[in-house]
């Protein structure tokens, strides 16, 4: 799309709406290098160096594309170890980090693309990163915000540059109705590549998506697609596999949850014990989850819960309820390996606001110990997309039966059966509490060398 050999190459922006894991980053990287070097479909591009800017949601989102570009660049060994890209020897790449520099950039000093510049930016940095540039190509990696579009188009007019957009829409993406309207009006050319399709109420892999025409191995196998479909909530399947503009409306977001996830089997020795808290979607509410994690098998057990439901509680009551939960499970406070709690919640009606410091102080008072003896309650890592990715991860654990829930956790079970994805719903409180603990364990932030066995009584 958009090459001199393209019979419809008329300067319109180009959109590739693709499913997850079908090789979009690889294709972007290959197209970019062909354009810079005047090879492949771009062999007839006018001579001379080019200016390219690649923009994405965040640095983390753009790293996979950076990795593919680095992978495709020819390299040579450096005299003192390591390797460098032959065409852009000043480029520094770190696995998991991407290209270094402020801003990260690639300067081509040799080969057919000598003199060309590729730089990277994020949507968070705003249009200021584009405003000072006259670009040949602007690549938008993942869904762009609408307010960036006006500045983008102006920058491209001067040199009749191209706009390439490659994305998979997710629940955390900015609203894309405006872009969909431009596609429907013919202002933007588009191509959709699904990896699966819905047939008779079931999602089945799309053969064309995972079998390349040139005989190369597929980026994702049919078996992997089927596994991913089973782990992905039904509401997201049209987006992630169908390359759709909108997700599905469902009555239950955690679609992999079944009664098979309910179990009161004893936990194995060597588990991490964790107390995980959410301060509630509504003022005065708090939920606590008692979790065990077995690092060797990456399995979780939700042993117990404290969830106030519609009743507002004080921080002092919360502290007493948490300690009572530990007592009924035969667990002492100092046997918990990791305490984690959400950011502060607003105060209401004169109650002390819900925060980790206040809860820690009240728990210490209940225990009649100095507050300094009680462990710090850590704050979970949060950034754009962590809520959706965390619940997707929880759904995948349900699908693989590696997150088991004790029958006494009735509020959690009710939430799994009824939560429809509404972020304002009180059902989400206990789910968030368990999610923070799960995410913290899988991120490696806990002391995974702990060998404390959490004792469970029924």
pLDDT of residue 79: 86
Can you read off the two tokens belonging to residue 437? Answer: 């603990």
pLDDT at residue 116 tops 60: yes
pLDDT of residue 210: 65
pLDDT of residue 91: 93
pLDDT of residue 451: 37
pLDDT of residue 345: 57
In 3D space, the residue among 221, 218, 287 whose CA is nearest the CA of residue 430 turns out to be: 287
Helix intervals (H) in 337-424: 356-367, 386-399, 410-418
pLDDT of residue 346: 53
What confidence tens digit (pLDDT) does each residue in 49-91 have?
999 999 998 888 899 999 999 999 999 998 888 899 999 999 9
What confidence tens digit (pLDDT) does each residue in 396-419 have?
999 999 999 999 999 999 999 999
Region 106-121 average pLDDT: 94
Pairing relationship of beta strands 299-307 and 287-294 according to DSSP bridges: antiparallel
CATH topology agreement for domains 14-188 and 259-443 = no
pLDDT of residue 209: 64
> Could you give the dihedral angle defined by the CA atoms of residues 294, 300, 306 and 312, in that order, rounded to the nearest 10 degrees?
120
- Other C-beta atoms lying within 10 Å of the C-beta of residue 222: 17
pLDDT of residue 10: 87
Region 121-150 average pLDDT: 79
**High-pLDDT (> 70) share of the chain, %:** 89
pLDDT at residue 452 tops 50: no
Q: Cα(49)–Cα(169) distance, rounded to whole angstroms? A: 33
For residues 206 and 196, the answer to whether their CB atoms sit within 8 Å is: yes
Q: Per-domain residue ranges for the chain?
A: 14-188, 194-250, 259-443
Sorting pLDDT into bands at 50, 70 and 90, what band is 129? low
In 3D space, the residue among 253, 254, 246, 238 whose CA is nearest the CA of residue 196 turns out to be: 238
pLDDT at residue 360 tops 80: yes
Residues with Cβ within 8 Å of residue 73, at least 6 apart in sequence: 33, 85, 86, 87, 88, 91
Residues with Cβ within 8 Å of residue 214, at least 6 apart in sequence: none
Residue labelled with tokens 């079931």? 202
pLDDT at residue 208 tops 60: yes
pLDDT of residue 160: 80
pLDDT of residue 442: 86
**High-pLDDT (> 90) share of the chain, %:** 53
pLDDT at residue 168 tops 50: yes
> What is the pTM for the complete model shown?
0.75
pLDDT of residue 126: 61
Which CATH number does 259-443 carry?
3.30.420.280
pLDDT at residue 284 tops 60: no
pLDDT of residue 128: 62
pLDDT at residue 147 tops 90: no
What confidence tens digit (pLDDT) does each residue in 309-327 have?
666 788 888 999 999 999 9
DSSP 266-329: PPPTTPEEEEEEE--SSTT--EEEEEEEETTTTEEEEEEEEE-TT----HHHHHHHHHHHHHHT
pLDDT at residue 356 tops 70: yes
pLDDT of residue 349: 47
The answer as to CATH 3.40.640.10 being correct for domain 14-188 is: no
pLDDT of residue 283: 55
What confidence tens digit (pLDDT) does each residue in 225-245 have?
899 999 899 999 999 999 999
Region 286-305 average pLDDT: 94
Q: Cα(363)–Cα(349) distance, rounded to whole angstroms? A: 22
Sorting pLDDT into bands at 50, 70 and 90, what band is 455? very low
269: which strand partners? none
When the pLDDT of each residue in the chain is averaged and rounded to a whole number, the result is 86
């Amino acid at each position: 799309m958009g090459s001199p050999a393209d019979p419809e190459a008329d300067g319109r922006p180009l959109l590739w709406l693709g499913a997850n894991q079908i090789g979009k980053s690889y294709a972007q990287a290959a197209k970019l290098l062909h354009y810079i070097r005047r090879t492949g479909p771009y062999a007839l591009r006018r001579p001379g160096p080019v200016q390219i800017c690649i923009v994405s949601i965040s640095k983390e989102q753009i790293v996979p594309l950076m990795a593919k570009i680095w992978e495709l660049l020819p390299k040579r060994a450096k005299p003192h170890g390591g390797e460098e890209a032959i065409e852009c020897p000043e480029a520094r790449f770190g696995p998991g980090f991407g290209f270094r520099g402020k801003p990260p950039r690639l300067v081509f000093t040799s080969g057919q693309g000598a003199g060309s510049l590729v730089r990277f930016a994020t949507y968070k940095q705003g249009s200021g990163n584009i405003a000072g540039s006259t670009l040949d190509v602007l690549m938008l990696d993942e869904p762009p915000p609408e307010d960036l579009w006006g500045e983008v188009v102006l920058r491209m007019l001067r040199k009749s540059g191209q706009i390439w957009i490659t994305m998979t829409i997710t629940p955390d993406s900015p609203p894309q109705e405006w872009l969909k309207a431009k596609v429907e009006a013919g202002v933007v050319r588009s191509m959709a590549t699904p990896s699966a399709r819905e047939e008779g109420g079931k999602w089945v892999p799309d053969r064309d998506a995972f079998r390349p025409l040139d005989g190369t191995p597929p980026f994702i196998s049919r078996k992997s697609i089927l596994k991913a479909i089973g782990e992905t909530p039904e509401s997201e399947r049209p987006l992630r596999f169908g390359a759709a503009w909108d997700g599905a409306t469902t009555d239950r977001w955690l679609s992999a949850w079944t009664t098979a996830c309910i179990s009161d089997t004893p936990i194995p020795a060597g588990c991490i014990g964790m107390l995980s808290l959410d301060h509630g979607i509504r003022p005065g509410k708090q939920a606590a989850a008692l979790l065990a994690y077995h690092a060797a098998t990456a399995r979780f057990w939700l042993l117990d819960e404290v969830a106030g439901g519609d009743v507002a509680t004080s921080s002092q009551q919360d502290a007493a309820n948490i300690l009572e939960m530990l007592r009924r499970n035969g667990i002492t406070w100092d046997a918990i390996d990791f305490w984690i709690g959400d950011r502060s919640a607003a105060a209401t009606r004169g109650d002390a606001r819900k925060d980790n410091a206040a809860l820690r102080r009240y728990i210490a008072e209940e225990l009649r110990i100095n507050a300094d003896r009680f462990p710090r309650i850590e704050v979970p890592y949060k950034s754009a997309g962590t809520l959706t990715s965390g619940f997707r991860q929880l759904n995948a654990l349900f699908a693989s039966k590696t997150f088991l829930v004790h029958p006494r956790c009735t509020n959690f079970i009710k939430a799994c059966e009824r939560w429809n994805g509404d972020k304002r719903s009180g059902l989400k409180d206990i789910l968030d509490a368990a999610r923070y603990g799960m995410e913290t364990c899988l991120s490696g932030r806990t002391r995974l060398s702990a060998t404390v066995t959490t004792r469970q009584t029924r």
